[in-house]
Amino acid sequence: MNWYEDLVDENTLLFIGPHRLPVQPYESWWIDGKLMGKSLLEVKKACREAGVAKSKDYAEPEDHIAFELKFMHHLCELGFSAENEEKRRACLNLQKRFLNDHLLKWVPDFCDALYEYKQSDFYKGIAKLTKGFLLLEDAMIGELLE
């Protein structure tokens, strides 16, 4: 078996199944204790407020870690392309609110669990990077808003 096949197998085991996922990548699982909980509705509301709609081709719900990180990426791009300081500040406030209300409430714990899972070789590094990046992002947005 080569490294690519190993990575596909690891990804399937951790995030696709067919069995119960060992580390659930959904906010509602971590916050509400079940899938499709109230947290999902709150993420959908944040997306609507920012004018973002999930593509029908994307099968995962909006509280999946990949979607939430992509949404944060979108907010960052809006901030970078803002034509004035007022709009840039509004984007930073949206980012700060989404970080505090969503990502920072569950992703550090998700990353810790992913790091501790015995069959998560490649994703151990991803978990450390993701957690560190979110903490850095929080600090940077805080500084930019001061």
| Amino acid 136: pLDDT | 95
Asked if residue 86 is part of any domain, the answer here is: yes
Asked if residue 127 is part of any domain, the answer here is: yes
| Amino acid 122: pLDDT | 84
Q: Is the distance from CB of 108 to CB of 100 less than 8 angstroms?
A: no
| Amino acid 66: pLDDT | 94
Neighbours of 90 (CB within 10 A): 14
| Amino acid 1: pLDDT | 59
| Amino acid 5: pLDDT | 87
Asked if residue 65 is part of any domain, the answer here is: yes
Domain count, the chain: 1
Asked if residue 17 is part of any domain, the answer here is: no
pLDDT averaged over 10-residue windows placed end to end, the chain, 146 residues = 82 82 92 94 94 89 95 91 90 94 97 85 90 95 90
Query: 133: closest CA among 62, 86, 65?
Result: 65
Asked if residue 15 is part of any domain, the answer here is: no
Which domain, by its residues, includes 100?
A: 26-145
| Amino acid 112: pLDDT | 95
Asked if residue 20 is part of any domain, the answer here is: no
pTM (two decimals): 0.88
Asked if residue 2 is part of any domain, the answer here is: no
